[in-house]
Amino acid sequence: MTETNHERWSEDVAAYLLGALEPDEAAALERHAAGCERCQADIRWMTPAVDALPESVARLEPPRELRERVLAEVRFDAEPEAVFKDDPAATGIFGRASNWLRELGSGPMGLRPVVGFAAAVLVVAAVAGFAIGGGIGSDSGQTSTVVTGTPPGVTAKVISSDSGGTLHLANVKQIPDNRVLEAWVQRDGEVEPVEALFVPDRKGQASTELPDMDGVELVMVTTEPKGGSKSPTSSPLVTIAVPQ
Amino acid sequence: MTVRREKAERLADEELMPLIGEKDPEAFEVFYDRHGGVAYSLAYRIVGEKAAAEDVTQEAFISIWKSGARFDRARGSVRSWMLSIVRNRAIDALRSRAGKAPKLSFDDDAILEQRPAEELTDDEAMRRETASELRGALGELPGEQSKVIELAYFGGFSQSEISRMLGVPLGTVKGRMRLGLEKIRGELAEGLA
């Protein structure tokens, strides 16, 4: 490698390390550096300076809820059946939920997660509480509350009674104008649509009625094209297991 | 505290990663507790909003959980690898938010929220001391050098974009980046001496 070549590429090493080269420029520099010891030495010398940049940021204390969400997702992914090991009834439900979601991700519907990293949509342990029988906010109904992983932060609550149920969502990000929220229920392992489409308000809250909760094991919500779909075409925003 | 958690706490990051690759949630919990703070702080520094910073941090840690086995120790420390994942996701989030300019200032001591000193581990206390020194070093860089570094690293702009934004030749941007990084590197070397 000639000195001229090195000087030409050496000018770009700092930008490369700072992530300020276009992808093709970065690839070209990497190809050059693979055979240029001086460029390799430059990269080795300056890398600690770039590594130090994030360390220079003023420290904020992350919210406790963030830790709980991350770890709940991880624990469920590692061992879904163990999440509710102290609640045999819930264990069965979540085990089925897990299986259903796995099938959803790889099955004939060919669904892909909305967010690329979330290869598996997860039902997460009820971090905020899992109350059944005369539950939260309802004198006569049952309330299930879950936090789920796609996208992070969405919370859902189902209040069920003999005559049906109500689904409340919070922290839902705005969805495109040409899409709506659609609710689904699973009974005996079969997924069926709920005859109601809805959209979040400006505060990210959304609600819909669930007319028939008899035998419902899971309630799910997906985003669908306007007018709704006959079967889910995207990964669930939330999945709520309903205690039997 | 469980025995497994206690054992995991005694392991170095590089020793935790194979356990995370084997889907050990206790190892991951220790990993999160070690690095969650700096990850969230970096994400907030880049995206400038707490909710977005939470999203970025969660996405980054879940991606590490899913790809822990792919960490290559030959390419640097676990912490640097993790922070590069956070940085890339934060820049992606920033770019996807049309019309919102990145937060661009090193003067963010005002939002510093520190835990009581007695709760800090020795490592974390040392990192915070180093962070404080680094902020000083960055603050002492000539403005034109710190600006191009900030625009590139925390703003996600390419050198060509920075050249156009600042109205200076591309070669000048390259030179300022290099000089700035060399000065920071020099400060680090002095700190180690």
Q: What are the mean pLDDT values of chain B's consecutive 10-residue runs (193 residues total)?
A: 75 90 91 96 94 93 83 81 94 76 40 35 57 68 92 94 95 96 88 57
Structure tokens at B153: 């690293």
Residues B135 and B70 in one domain: no
Task: Provide the shortest C-alpha distance from residue A23 to chain B (in Å).
Answer: 10
- Say which of A20, A49, A66 has its CB closest to residue B40: A66
Q: Which domain holds residue B2?
A: 1-100
Of the residues A70, A75, A76, A171, the best mutation for testing chain B's interface (the one with the most B CB atoms within 10 Å of its CB) is A70
- Say which of A11, A56, A60 has its CB closest to residue B135: A56
Please report whether residue B40 resides in a domain: yes
Q: Is the dihedral of CA A87, A91, A93, A98 positive or negative?
A: positive
Whether residue A82 contacts residue A119, with contact meaning beta carbons closer than 8 Å, is answered with no
State the Cα–Cα distance between residues B191 and B193, nearest whole angstrom.
Answer: 6
pLDDT digits (tens, 9 = 90+) for A24-76: 999 999 999 999 999 999 999 999 999 989 988 888 999 988 998 898 888 87
Please report whether residue B106 resides in a domain: no
Contact at CB, B37 and A60, closer than 8 angstroms = yes
Residue B172: what are its φ and ψ, rounded to 5°? -65, -40
Question: How high is the pLDDT of residue B168?
Answer: 96
- Say which of B37, B41, B149 has its CB closest to residue A18: B149
Residues B64 and B144 in one domain: no
Contact at CB, A49 and B185, closer than 8 angstroms = yes
Residues of B in contact with A62 (CB under 8 A): 36-37, 39-41, 54, 57
Confidence of residue A134 (pLDDT cuts 50, 70, 90): very low
- Say which of A15, A46, A63 has its CB closest to residue B185: A46
Contact at CB, B153 and A18, closer than 8 angstroms = yes
Please report whether residue B59 resides in a domain: yes
Residues B96 and B52 in one domain: yes
Please report whether residue B113 resides in a domain: no
Q: Which of B117, B119, B91 is nearest to B103 (CA)?
A: B91
State the Cα–Cα distance between residues A35 and B118, nearest whole angstrom.
Answer: 49
Residues B87 and B136 in one domain: no
Tell me the three-class secondary structure of chain A, residue by residue. CCHHHHHHHHCCHHHHHCCCCCHHHHHHHHHHHCCCHHHHHHHHHHHHHHHHHHHCCCCCCCCHHHHHHHHHHHHHHHCHHHCCCCCHHHHHHHHHHHHHHHHHHHCCCCCCCCCCCCCCCCECCCCCCCCCCCCCCCCCCEEEEEEECCCCCCEEEEEEECCEEEEEEECCCCCCCCEEEEEEEEECCEEEEEEEEECCCCCCCEEEEECCCCCEEEEEEEEEECCCCCCCCCCCCEEEECCC
Question: How high is the pLDDT of residue B176?
Answer: 96
Residues B68 and B123 in one domain: no
Question: How high is the pLDDT of residue A210?
Answer: 86
Residues B72 and B150 in one domain: no
Contact at CB, A71 and B28, closer than 8 angstroms = yes
Question: How high is the pLDDT of residue A200?
Answer: 85
Q: Is the pLDDT of residue A141 over 70?
A: no
- Say which of A54, A56, A66 has its CB closest to residue B57: A66
Question: How high is the pLDDT of residue B134?
Answer: 67
Q: Quick one: residue B183, left, alpha or beta (phi over 0 = left, psi -120 to 50 = alpha)?
A: alpha
b/e for A65-76, b at 16 or more Cβ within 10 A? Answer: ebbebbbbbbbb
Residues of A in contact with B192 (CB under 8 A): none
If you search the block for the tokens 């009820």, which residue do you land on? A126
Q: Is the pLDDT of residue A2 over 80?
A: no
Residues of B in contact with A54 (CB under 8 A): 38, 42, 45, 83, 86-87
Residues B83 and B143 in one domain: no
Residues B94 and B128 in one domain: no
The CATH number assigned to the domain with range A3-55 reads: 1.10.10
- Say which of A21, A52, A79 has its CB closest to residue B134: A52
Please report whether residue B128 resides in a domain: yes
Outline which parts of chain A fall under CATH 1.10.10.
3-55
Whether residue A235 contacts residue A105, with contact meaning beta carbons closer than 8 Å, is answered with yes
Residues of A in contact with B38 (CB under 8 A): 54-55, 57, 59
Q: Which residue of B has its CA nearest to A71?
A: B29
Residues B53 and B130 in one domain: no
- Say which of A12, A49, A75 has its CB closest to residue B188: A49
Among B100, B131, B146, the domain boundary falls at: B100
Task: Provide the shortest C-alpha distance from residue B183 to chain A (in Å).
Answer: 9
Contact at CB, B28 and A11, closer than 8 angstroms = no
The domain that contains B17 carries what CATH number?
A: 1.10.1740.10
Question: How high is the pLDDT of residue A122?
Answer: 34
b/e for A143-180, b at 16 or more Cβ within 10 A? Answer: bbbbbbbbbbbbbbbbbbeeeebbbbbebbeeeeeeeb
Contact at CB, B182 and A19, closer than 8 angstroms = no
Contact at CB, A51 and B57, closer than 8 angstroms = no
Confidence of residue A227 (pLDDT cuts 50, 70, 90): confident
Structure tokens at B140: 């002492």
Residues B68 and B127 in one domain: no
If you search the block for the tokens 């879940």, which residue do you land on? B62
Contact at CB, A70 and B57, closer than 8 angstroms = yes
- Say which of A14, A56, A66 has its CB closest to residue B178: A14
Total structural domains within chain B: 2
Please report whether residue B10 resides in a domain: yes
Of the residues B178, B179, B190, B192, the best mutation for testing chain A's interface (the one with the most A CB atoms within 10 Å of its CB) is B178
Residues B83 and B32 in one domain: yes
Confidence of residue A107 (pLDDT cuts 50, 70, 90): very low
Among B56, B72, B100, the domain boundary falls at: B100
Of the residues A74, A79, A155, the best mutation for testing chain B's interface (the one with the most B CB atoms within 10 Å of its CB) is A74
- ipTM > 0.85? no
Among B34, B66, B100, the domain boundary falls at: B100
Question: How high is the pLDDT of residue A244?
Answer: 65
More reliable by pLDDT, A24 or A128 = A24
The domain that contains B135 carries what CATH number?
A: 1.10.10.10
Residues B155 and B185 in one domain: yes
Contact at CB, A70 and B127, closer than 8 angstroms = no
Contact at CB, B87 and A54, closer than 8 angstroms = yes
